[in-house]
Chain A
C-alpha cells in the first residue's frame, strides 16, 4: 500500500515568486491536511481538505491557499513568497480522524 507522496522534495524559489506543492494521499483517504515546520515555530497547521472542500483552516495569511481534486490529491499554493516561508511543508492523509494521520516525506522550500 503506497504511502503519502509529496512532490517535489526540494524547491528553491526567489522572493516574490509563487509556488505549488503537491500531495497524493493514501488510496481511500479523503482527508488531506497541510503543515508548515520551521525551527522557530515547530509544526503549525495550515488547512485541511475533505472531499474537495476546505474543512478546517489555521492562522496563516491568505497567500497560503490550497485545493483538492476529485481523486483526493491536493495542492498547496503560496503566492508572493517571503524569506520566512522557507520551511518543510508536510501533508498528512487520513481515512478518519479516529485512525490517526499518515504523513508524507515533505517538501523542503527555500526562498532566497
Chain B
C-alpha cells in the first residue's frame, strides 16, 4: 500500500527566505506526482505536476523535483512571501491505481513579514 510522508509537518520562516518542502513515497511505481496548496477551509490549488519520466518542473518561484527511484520529491520555494502561507500537499498517482491520488498529510507553511 502506497504511503506518502511529508516533512516537516509545519514550518515558519521570515519573508524572503528560500525553503524546501519534502515528500517521500514508499512505492516507486508512480505515474506522476502533483503538488497542491490549500488555504484554510478552501479547496486545493494545483501548483506543479511531474510525470514519472521527468526530473523537475518549474513555475515562477516554485521548483519541484522528483527522484522516483529513491521515492522522493521536493518543492523549492524561492524568496518566500507572506502570501505563500498555506498548507502544501503532495499527491502521488500510482501506475496501477487508476485515478486514485494518495496524499501526504501536508506541510503547514507560515511566512512572517
Contacts and interface: CB of A to CB of B under 8 A. Distances in A.
Q: Do A and B bind each other?
A: yes
Interface of A: 4, 6, 31, 33, 35, 42-43, 45, 48, 50, 55-56, 58, 88, 90, 92, 94, 97-106, 108
B99 interface: yes
With a 10 A CB-CB cut-off, give which of B43, B51, B98 has the most chain A CB atoms.
Answer: B43
A90 B100 contact: no
Given A43-B103, A45-B100, A97-B93, A90 B51 contact: no
A105 B43 contact: yes
B46 A48 contact: no
Contacts of B93: 97
Interface stretch (B17-25, B31-39, B67-75, B78-86): B31-39
B42 A106 contact: yes
B44 A103 contact: yes
A48 B99 contact: yes
Nearest to A91: B43
A6 B44 CA distance: 13
Contact of A100 (B34, B42, B104, B105): B34
B103 A31 contact: no
Contacts of B31: 97-98
Contact of B49 (A6, A31, A100): A100
Contacts of A90: 43-44
B41 to A, nearest CB: 7
B43 A106 contact: yes
Contacts of A98: 31-32, 51
Given A100-B32, A100-B49, A101-B34, A33 B43 contact: no
